[in-house]
Amino acid sequence: MNTHVDWSGVRERVIAVEEAERRACGLGSVEYPVFEPVLTPAEIAEVEAQYGVVLPDEYRTFLAEVGAGGPGPALRLTSLRRIDGKWGWLWDIAGHHWLLDPSAPFVETEDWPDQQMATLRAAGHEPATRDEDDDYLDDYYKVFGDAGDEVWHLERGRGAILISDNGCGMTGWLIIVGPHRGELRDRDCANNPPYEPYVDAKGNRHTFRTWYLEWLEQRERAAR
């Protein structure tokens, strides 16, 4: 059952700090929407029906009360939009969507090599020597042909959405499916980098709400 998460005042606080930073730089008011429009309950239900999931409460209430994209940790949050009748998370200027694969839980970094081996063996292929950077990507090409790269990448991000663009190829991920549902993961820009949990100053793993509010409070302190 969903529980309500209160985001009262957060949208206004973000807009205020954006304005304060612009004034400090001698710039005028923002002339474009800071946030994407909020989603209606019917639109959120449509997203969840499309993927067969229930979004984590903290995120689904953010969509309804703050916006479906906008300012956020690092550069900004990805925007949840409907394009050509399908909902997805817009993550670059070329218009590429991240489409959630809810077929199974998100695979943690330490379990990823074993997951690849299981996939390949299920396809009747015995994995060869593990590649230092990409694990068994070459084997995916052998099994799935030209589609091997896409199959490998989609499986690697399965059960999670690309929630933030952190710049220079670095990304943030929100887990939607599995035992760590609602937690955040950080990913660097190297070849097949690990997914590292976002943690607070005490080492506690961030959820969407604690991650977002920590970022906002840091910006407010800097603006003051």
When divided into structural domains, the chain yields a total of 1
Q: What is the rounded distance in angstroms from the CA atom of residue 130 to the CA atom of residue 113?
A: 8
In a domain, 79, yes or no: yes
pLDDT of the residue at 172: 95
pLDDT of the residue at 1: 44
In a domain, 121, yes or no: no
Q: What is the rounded distance in angstroms from the CA atom of residue 34 to the CA atom of residue 36?
A: 7
Kindly tell me the sign of the dihedral angle through the C-alpha atoms of 111, 166, 70, 215.
Answer: positive
Q: Which of 169, 224, 157, 163 is nearest to 195 (CA)?
A: 157
Q: Which of 140, 143, 162 is nearest to 152 (CA)?
A: 140
Tokens of 135: 């694990």
In a domain, 56, yes or no: yes
CATH of the domain at 50: 3.40.1580.10
In a domain, 100, yes or no: yes
pLDDT of the residue at 94: 60
pLDDT of the residue at 23: 79
In a domain, 203, yes or no: yes
In a domain, 144, yes or no: no
pLDDT of the residue at 102: 95
Q: What is the layout of strands, in order, in the sheet containing 160-165? A: 70-71, 76-77, 160-165, 171-175, 184-187, 195-197
pLDDT of the residue at 174: 98
pLDDT of the residue at 95: 65
Q: Which domain holds residue 65?
A: 10-106+157-223
How do strand 76-77 and strand 79-83 relate by DSSP bridges? unpaired
Contact 164, 141 (CB under 8 A): no
Digit-by-digit pLDDT tens for the chain (224 residues) are 445 688 999 999 999 998 887 777 777 666 667 899 999 999 999 999 999 999 999 999 999 999 999 999 988 999 999 988 999 999 765 667 888 999 999 999 999 999 999 999 999 999 988 887 789 999 999 999 999 999 999 999 999 999 998 888 899 999 999 999 999 999 998 778 999 999 999 999 999 999 999 999 999 998 88
In a domain, 2, yes or no: no
In a domain, 1, yes or no: no
